[in-house]
Amino acid sequence: MTKKERAAYVDRELDRLYPDPPIPLDHKDPYTLLVAVLLSAQCTDIRVNKTTPELFALADNPQAMIKPSVDKIRSIIRPCGLAPRKSQAIHDLSCILINEYDGTVPEDMEALEALPGVGHKTASVVMSQAFGHPAFPVDTHIHRLAQRWGLSSGKNVSQTEKDLKALFPKERWNPLHLQIIYYGREHCTARGCDGTVCGICSALYPKRRRAVVTKKA
C-alpha cells in the first residue's frame, strides 16, 4: 500500500469502529474542558474524570475559581500529578480570562496558547472539541500509531501533526483524532501491540515481522 492508501484504509476502518466518538473528558462548557485538558497532561482521562467533579463543585467558572487558594485547588487535583504547577496555572489563567476576556474562554488558537499551562495540544483540543474548529491534537497514542501505520516518521508530535493534516481531509480531523485515541487505547496499546499484532497494523503491513520502535515524542 502507498501512504495515501494506508491513510484511506485507516480512515474507513476507524469510522466503522467508532462512528460517533465521544469526547473522553467530562465537561459542560469551554472553561471546564480547558481545565480538564490541562489536568490530563501526564495523567489518564479516567483519573481526570474522577477528580474534576470535586474541583468543579468548588468552582466551575473563572470567577469562582479565583476565590479558593491555590493550595486548596492543589489539594483537590493532587491525584492528577504535577499539582503545584497545574493548580497555579488554573488560578492564573482564570485571572487572565476575567481580566482580558470577560470571563470567557477565547475562541482563538494564539490566545489559548498564551494562557498559563496551555500548550499547543491543549489549545487544539479546546478549539476542536469546544468550538468545533478543525484541529488535529496529537498525543502519545496518535504519535505512536501514526508511526506504526506508516503515516508519519516524525520525531516529535509537531511533525506528526503536520503529516496527518496533510494526509486527511480537514473535515475528518476532529473525529479522526478521537477515533485514533480510542483505537490506541483499546487495540494498539503501547505494550499490547508492537506494530504487528492489532487488526489495522496487520492489515496495513501483513508481511511485517519486526516491531516498530516509536520515535520519542
Three-class secondary structure of residue 17 per DSSP: helix
> Is the pLDDT confidence value at 100 over 80?
yes
pLDDT digits (tens, 9 = 90+) for 131-179: 999 999 998 889 999 999 999 998 899 999 999 999 999 999 999 999 9
Q: Where are the domains of the chain?
A: 3-21+136-204, 30-129
Q: Which of 96, 82, 87 is nearest to 41 (CA)?
A: 82
**Angle ∠(91,97,99) on CA atoms, nearest 5:** 100
Q: What is the pLDDT of residue 65?
A: 98
> Which residues are tagged catalytic?
121, 139
**pLDDT on residue 214:** 84
The Cα 23–Cα 25 span in angstroms is 6
Q: Which CATH architecture has domain 3-21+136-204?
A: Orthogonal Bundle (1.10)
pLDDT, tens digit (0-9, with 9 covering 90-100), for 6-23: 999 999 999 999 999 999
pLDDT (tens digit, 9 = 90+) per residue, 175-217? 999 999 999 999 999 999 999 999 999 999 999 999 998 887 6
Confidence of residue 121 (pLDDT cuts 50, 70, 90): very high
Measured CA angle at 102 (ends 97, 104), to 5 deg? 60
Tens of pLDDT, residues 47-76 = 999 999 999 999 999 999 999 999 999 999
CATH topology of domain 30-129: Endonuclease III; domain 1 (1.10.340)
